[in-house]
Amino acid sequence: MVVLRTLLGDALRETRLQQHRTLREVSGAARVSLGYLSEVERGQKEASSELLASICRALGVRLSDVLRDVSEELSVHEPHPLPIPVLEAVPEPSAVTAVPASVHVVSDVVAAA
């Protein structure tokens, strides 16, 4: 099973390497520690949306573009869900329900007392 944080980290690292930038440069621009950025890129840390946005700004890319690319990659690896079973509709009870005869007998006994 592919983990989302791994795909995100791969996408961020690939973008950084395409720009010929170091972890130190991007971590400074994103205001995140070098070690934490490295863990995010390796898929070891689950980055918050705020942190992802900061890293993307530092890389000069849109977060939505990175997420779209990761989503496309995830769809390749993600298994198809099992079909949802179709449940048959249960008829609604009628508004007027029959009262059992035993209830009438009990009420007659109580009324006679």
Per-residue pLDDT of the chain (113 residues; tens, 9 = 90+): 778 999 999 999 999 999 999 999 999 999 999 999 999 999 999 999 999 999 999 999 999 999 999 999 998 887 778 788 877 777 777 655 555 555 554 444 445 55
| 60 within domain boundaries | yes
Q: Label each residue of 48-79 as H, E or C.
A: CHHHHHHHHHHHCCCHHHHHHHHHHHHHHHCC
CATH number for the domain that contains residue 11: 1.10.260.40
| 15 within domain boundaries | yes
* pTM metric for this prediction: 0.69
| 98 within domain boundaries | no
| 43 within domain boundaries | yes
| 87 within domain boundaries | no
Task: Work out whether the CA dihedral 46, 52, 58, 64 comes out positive or negative.
Answer: positive
| 19 within domain boundaries | yes
What is the largest distance, in Å, between two alpha-carbon atoms of the chain? Answer: 98
Question: How many structural domains does the chain have?
Answer: 1
Supply the range of the domain harboring residue 62: 4-77
